[in-house]
Structure 1
Amino acid sequence: MARKITTDEGRAAIRAVDEATAGGATPARADLGTAVRYLLQLLAEKAPGNSVEVRVPPFGAVQVVEGPRHTRGTPPNVVEMTPGTWISLAVGRSSWTDAVGTPELSASGIRASEIAALLPLRP
């Protein structure tokens, strides 16, 4: 099991990503990875379960939302997005309706859109 990211570490990484992006720079990979994993961790705490898989390659994935457990192959309900899109959705800078269907976010399965009701996380 991965080490739990503390609130201080997570918020510091989000700030570092925000500062780099605001300045027109590319965020440090370590900061981006920590921010993504921290926000995925918060999502898993907010909506424990196994019926929707949220993927943010290459940094992480979690299964969330109560319902039938998925055990083999590709889950029937998958949300996959870029790291920047995930951070923006999770902290409330963009909305699900603006992001879904774009190249930056794909959602498949009848339960995938349930993620929208869980956002933003507002750490």
Structure 2
Amino acid sequence: MPARLKPAPAADVAAALARLDAGAAERGDLRLLTKHYLALLEALAPGRSVEVRVPPYAAVQVIEGVRHTRGTPPALIETDAATWIALATGRLAWVDAVEGVRVQASGERTDLAPYLPLG
């Protein structure tokens, strides 16, 4: 079983967000922020019925329901790092991301709107 993600230190998150806002974010900043916000989602919505993927950085299984164990899960959300960070910080609404095809979501319980923004 893979190790759970852990939230990053607040100072590291603030610095990475500042670089992102300034247009100077590097790959390491995207990785840190993606994993941080996925860790917050995992803590907020524990479970294993929906897989949230943000390639190439990380994936988590969240939300209670039928447990997924192998292969492609029946409930899947996938997006890029910039979109995930925008959703997690409230800079982008879930409905806008889905309608704008910035998020691919299929299966039951794949509406993350009740959990976003993460803070």
TM above 0.5, yes or no, is yes
Distance in 1, matches of 2:64 and 2:50, equals: 8
In structure 2, relative to structure 1, the CA distance for the partners of 1:44 and 1:95 (3 Å cut) is same
Aligned length: 116
Shift of the 3–37 alpha-carbon distance from structure 1 to 2, 3 Å rule, reads closer
Q: Output the amino acid matched with 1:29.
A: R
In 2, Cα distance between equivalents of 1:66 and 1:2: 16
1:100 aligns with 2:102: no
Name stretches of at least 5 consecutive residues in structure 2 with no aligned partner.
Answer: none
Aligned to 1:12: 15
Map 1:36-115 → 2, pairs under 5 A:
36-113=34-111, 115=112
Q: Check conservation: 1:36, 1:87, Cα contact below 8 A.
A: yes
| 1:118 correspondence with 2:115 | yes
Shift of 1:7: 2.9
Note the alpha carbon deviations across 1:32-73, whole angstroms, 9 max, x for none.
110111010111011111011111111111101111110111
How many angstroms does 1:94 deviate by? Answer: 1.0
* Residues 14, 32 of structure 1: 8 Å contact kept: no
Amino acid at match of 2:94: W
TM-superposed CA distance for 1:80, in Å, is 0.4
For residues 21-32 of structure 1, what are the structure 2 equivalents within 5 Å?
Answer: 25=24, 27-32=25-30
Aligned Cα root-mean-square deviation (Å): 1.6
Q: 8 Å contact 2:4–2:39 — kept in the other structure?
A: no
- Structure 1 ranges of 4+ moved more than 6 A: none
- For residues 30 and 72 of structure 1, the distance between their equivalents in structure 2, rounded to whole angstroms, comes to 29
Q: CA deviation at 1:11?
A: 3.0
CA distance in 1, matches of 2:59, 2:65: 17
Gaps of 5+ in 1: none
> Percent identity over the alignment?
48
